[in-house]
Structure 1
């Protein structure tokens, strides 16, 4: 219990340090090196499937072994209160409520200041779509969708796996999520090569995504947002998302905030359409971003409390 609260407080105070020595940054560099070494142009689909799966299995196994060894070393060398503190700091590296909020509010600040070009630039840091032609409403939609989706990936899922298996399992989830973010694309290079990583991420997020929806409904109730509409939109629209998991948080946020998410997005100059989620009861404005961040933080506190209760002995 102490470890979980230390992690959340540490993240709220310090955020995610922007350094190349951040554990996730180191993990990403390792995955990148393995990717370059094993990717061979002109190979068969079977080779790419096997090579991609091999990278994913090796990375997750190594992550588990290293984190398990580190936890054992902490228990052998530190007094109990010291173990709680260090484990809490490590867990703080695996969750990102403050960084997520900071990125969203940075975009909001530029909109409030009337600097649309800078808002487009900053939203481009946190979304994969083309942003150079987005108007204010579309910028706000992109931010709200990212905040909702990352409530699962960046907060609830790591805490879910921490509750199940402590730091080693939470670190394994972070490795899986990093693998997916680097290799889980449906383009020519990664269509087969990154398929295992993408499917593994889908499996890992299946339960946490649905827990996130429940937490967002609870957060909407506590924030006096429209929690009844959140439930209605989850039931109606969550399954429409192309991802088996992404729609749950987005539908919950759309319903709670009374906005419509989804629609047309441009990726590398090519337009695509994603099913709408929610109804346009309110306009998407900078205030929507603020409300989405409030919703995310409240749901995060709920996730922290649940994880702490599940790991009450540490």
Structure 2
């Protein structure tokens, strides 16, 4: 059964590579998001306002979302394999392909890069606003580029390595459950007046689920940093990568974030590119003070968006090589 899951991984990765997330195709994450929004409204009515009531409602949100998503995705997987192993692999391949975010992350972040290439700052600002949670109205050129780079670095774990690990270990239902947790955190896991208590359970569960994937992603990215340093200059010249510095900044700055996971890959990316990331940011009109990640060895430039994507892709490639080795071992 493990080999079938692994085969579905490679087919799903191929589907994501070829098609990404077509806008015309219904996406399960949209349905999960709608379910979360629907349950939130009803649970808030059922439980009283205040810390205890909102915490309890938030716990029930997590339980109900995971139960519904787990039962439905499990039923699809079991039903498909009961028909035929080929049908089962096909079903899991589609499930995984829809949840893998390599192509969509690269496409959306490179829109920021392409806008910079056209010297259209407003278009770059609009493009980055589609992929980050912070306020972008007052970001400088450097701020826009940094926001895009940080998103690529962080989502290397959330959007690529974590779903890959969930699929390898638990198949289609595992990757759907992971995405349900990730979506809940992105919708209700804020530390503002509305969600500080209601989103507590979702945020803590997301931290737990991403604890191992974030660190595994960082290890793969450290290796990717060395590979980029080795090969990037030969193909493109003016090599900005430094694998040794990626390891150094990872060791030093991997906890420079309130989340225990977010700075793991971000620190490697900052170090490997020899730039400074993070720092203060504005969310929903409120300034949040954050420590910097990395050293200001050279100024951030918009070309670093493309370089961060190269680093992400090599990280992804190393992870797939590990899965391929596992495929031949089991």
1:94 and 2:99 matched: yes
Structure 2 residue matching 1:108: 3-state secondary structure = helix
Determine the C-alpha separation between the residues in 2 that align with 1:312 and 1:23: 31
1:183 and 2:199 matched: no
TM-score of the superposed pair, with normalisation by structure 1:
0.95
Determine the C-alpha separation between the residues in 2 that align with 1:150 and 1:110: 21
* Match of residue 58 from structure 1: 64
The 10-residue stretch of structure 1 (162-171 or 39-48) with the greater mean CA deviation from structure 2: 39-48
The count of residues paired between Structure 1 and Structure 2 equals 313
1:48 and 2:57 matched: no
Determine the C-alpha separation between the residues in 1 that align with 2:329 and 2:174: 17
Which ranges of structure 2 fall in alignment gaps of 5 or more residues? 1-5, 230-240
**How far apart are residue 9 of structure 1 and its match?**
1.1
**How far apart are residue 131 of structure 1 and its match?**
1.0
TM-score of the superposed pair, with normalisation by structure 2:
0.90
The 10-residue stretch of structure 1 (20-29 or 179-188) with the greater mean CA deviation from structure 2: 20-29
Taking the TM superposition and a 5 Å limit, the aligned residue runs for 1:57-206 are 57-78=63-84, 80-206=85-211
Deviation track 1:166-186 (CA, whole Å, cap 9, x = no partner) reads: 111111111000110111011
**How far apart are residue 286 of structure 1 and its match?**
1.7
Determine the C-alpha separation between the residues in 1 that align with 2:51 and 2:285: 27
**How far apart are residue 307 of structure 1 and its match?**
3.7
Structure 1 residue matching 2:196: 3-state secondary structure = helix
* Match of residue 234 from structure 1: 250
Taking the TM superposition and a 5 Å limit, the aligned residue runs for 1:246-265 are 246-265=262-281
Flag the structure with more relative contact order, 1 or 2, with Cα contacts below 8 A and sequence separation at least 6.
Answer: 1
Which ranges of structure 1 fall in alignment gaps of 5 or more residues? none
CA separation of 1:309 and 1:53: change in aligned 2, threshold 3 A: farther
- Contact 2:92 2:171 survives alignment (8 Å): no
1:273 and 2:289 matched: yes
Structure 1 residue matching 2:254: 3-state secondary structure = helix
Structure 2 residue matching 1:239: 3-state secondary structure = coil
The 10-residue stretch of structure 1 (263-272 or 2-11) with the greater mean CA deviation from structure 2: 263-272
- Contact 1:163 1:311 survives alignment (8 Å): no
The 10-residue stretch of structure 1 (10-19 or 138-147) with the greater mean CA deviation from structure 2: 10-19
The 10-residue stretch of structure 1 (304-313 or 28-37) with the greater mean CA deviation from structure 2: 304-313
Determine the C-alpha separation between the residues in 2 that align with 1:306 and 1:163: 11
- Contact 1:149 1:246 survives alignment (8 Å): yes
> What is the RMSD of the two structures over their aligned residues, measured on CA atoms?
1.7
